Amino acid sequence: SKGALARGQELGTRMARHHPKDPHLYLFAITTRAAARGKGVGKALLDPVLAHADREGLAVYLENSNPVNSGFYAARGFERTGFFEVGEGGPIMEPMCRAPS
Protein backbone atom coordinates (compact mmCIF):
# COMPACT_ATOMS: atom_id res chain seq x y z
CA SER A 1 0.00 0.00 0.00
CA LYS A 2 0.98 3.61 -0.44
CA GLY A 3 1.24 4.09 3.34
CA ALA A 4 3.56 1.11 3.76
CA LEU A 5 5.79 2.37 0.95
CA ALA A 6 6.01 5.83 2.54
CA ARG A 7 6.84 4.29 5.94
CA GLY A 8 9.53 2.14 4.34
CA GLN A 9 11.07 5.13 2.60
CA GLU A 10 11.04 7.14 5.83
CA LEU A 11 12.70 4.25 7.68
CA GLY A 12 15.40 4.07 5.02
CA THR A 13 16.03 7.80 5.36
CA ARG A 14 16.25 7.56 9.16
CA MET A 15 18.65 4.64 8.98
CA ALA A 16 20.86 6.29 6.34
CA ARG A 17 21.43 9.29 8.64
CA HIS A 18 23.32 7.04 11.06
CA HIS A 19 25.56 5.23 8.58
CA PRO A 20 29.26 6.12 8.73
CA LYS A 21 30.41 8.53 6.03
CA ASP A 22 33.65 6.61 5.41
CA PRO A 23 33.65 3.38 3.37
CA HIS A 24 32.33 0.47 5.44
CA LEU A 25 30.59 -2.88 5.27
CA TYR A 26 26.94 -2.77 6.27
CA LEU A 27 25.71 -5.78 8.20
CA PHE A 28 22.01 -5.66 7.34
CA ALA A 29 20.86 -8.68 9.33
CA ILE A 30 22.10 -11.60 11.35
CA THR A 31 19.75 -13.90 13.18
CA THR A 32 19.64 -17.33 14.73
CA ARG A 33 16.82 -19.50 15.94
CA ALA A 34 16.24 -19.42 19.68
CA ALA A 35 17.40 -23.03 20.03
CA ALA A 36 20.76 -22.15 18.42
CA ARG A 37 21.55 -19.15 20.62
CA GLY A 38 24.57 -19.42 22.86
CA LYS A 39 26.06 -22.22 20.74
CA GLY A 40 28.45 -20.16 18.61
CA VAL A 41 26.25 -19.92 15.52
CA GLY A 42 26.15 -16.10 15.51
CA LYS A 43 29.90 -15.94 16.00
CA ALA A 44 30.40 -18.41 13.14
CA LEU A 45 28.25 -16.22 10.89
CA LEU A 46 29.92 -12.96 11.89
CA ASP A 47 33.60 -13.91 12.15
CA PRO A 48 34.23 -14.31 8.37
CA VAL A 49 32.66 -10.89 7.75
CA LEU A 50 34.87 -9.27 10.38
CA ALA A 51 37.97 -11.03 9.05
CA HIS A 52 37.20 -9.79 5.52
CA ALA A 53 36.62 -6.24 6.79
CA ASP A 54 39.94 -6.33 8.65
CA ARG A 55 41.80 -7.55 5.54
CA GLU A 56 40.23 -4.74 3.50
CA GLY A 57 40.72 -2.11 6.23
CA LEU A 58 36.97 -1.41 6.43
CA ALA A 59 34.74 -0.60 9.36
CA VAL A 60 31.60 -2.71 9.88
CA TYR A 61 28.33 -0.98 10.71
CA LEU A 62 24.99 -2.37 11.91
CA GLU A 63 21.76 -1.33 13.57
CA ASN A 64 21.00 -3.52 16.57
CA SER A 65 17.27 -3.80 17.27
CA ASN A 66 17.54 -6.06 20.32
CA PRO A 67 19.29 -4.78 23.48
CA VAL A 68 19.99 -8.40 24.48
CA ASN A 69 22.49 -8.54 21.59
CA SER A 70 24.48 -5.45 22.60
CA GLY A 71 27.02 -7.47 24.60
CA PHE A 72 27.48 -9.95 21.74
CA TYR A 73 28.44 -7.12 19.39
CA ALA A 74 30.49 -5.23 22.00
CA ALA A 75 32.56 -8.38 22.62
CA ARG A 76 33.46 -8.33 18.92
CA GLY A 77 34.62 -4.71 18.95
CA PHE A 78 31.41 -2.88 18.05
CA GLU A 79 30.75 0.43 19.78
CA ARG A 80 27.39 2.12 20.11
CA THR A 81 27.15 5.37 18.17
CA GLY A 82 23.69 6.42 19.40
CA PHE A 83 20.06 5.42 19.38
CA PHE A 84 17.15 6.22 17.09
CA GLU A 85 13.50 5.28 16.70
CA VAL A 86 12.30 3.61 13.54
CA GLY A 87 8.76 4.88 13.96
CA GLU A 88 5.68 4.56 16.08
CA GLY A 89 5.46 1.11 17.63
CA GLY A 90 8.83 0.06 16.25
CA PRO A 91 11.97 -0.90 18.13
CA ILE A 92 14.64 1.51 19.28
CA MET A 93 17.67 0.97 17.07
CA GLU A 94 21.21 1.00 18.41
CA PRO A 95 23.66 1.91 15.64
CA MET A 96 27.01 0.22 16.25
CA CYS A 97 30.31 0.43 14.41
CA ARG A 98 33.49 -1.64 14.55
CA ALA A 99 36.78 -0.22 13.32
CA PRO A 100 39.08 -2.59 11.42
CA SER A 101 41.81 -4.19 13.49
C-alpha distances out from residue 79 to 19, 30, 57, Å: 13, 17, 17
The average pLDDT across 23-44 equals: 90
* Per-residue pLDDT at 10: 80
* Per-residue pLDDT at 53: 98
Distance CA 4, CA 37 (A): 32
The average pLDDT across 25-49 equals: 91
- Of 60, 61, 54, 59, the C-alpha closest to 94 is 61
Distance CA 50, CA 1 (A): 38
Band (pLDDT 50/70/90 cuts) for residue 8 is confident
- Report the predicted TM-score, pTM, of the whole model to 2 decimal places: 0.85
Distance CA 78, CA 80 (A): 7
* Per-residue pLDDT at 74: 97
92 close to 84: Cβ distance less than 8 angstroms = yes
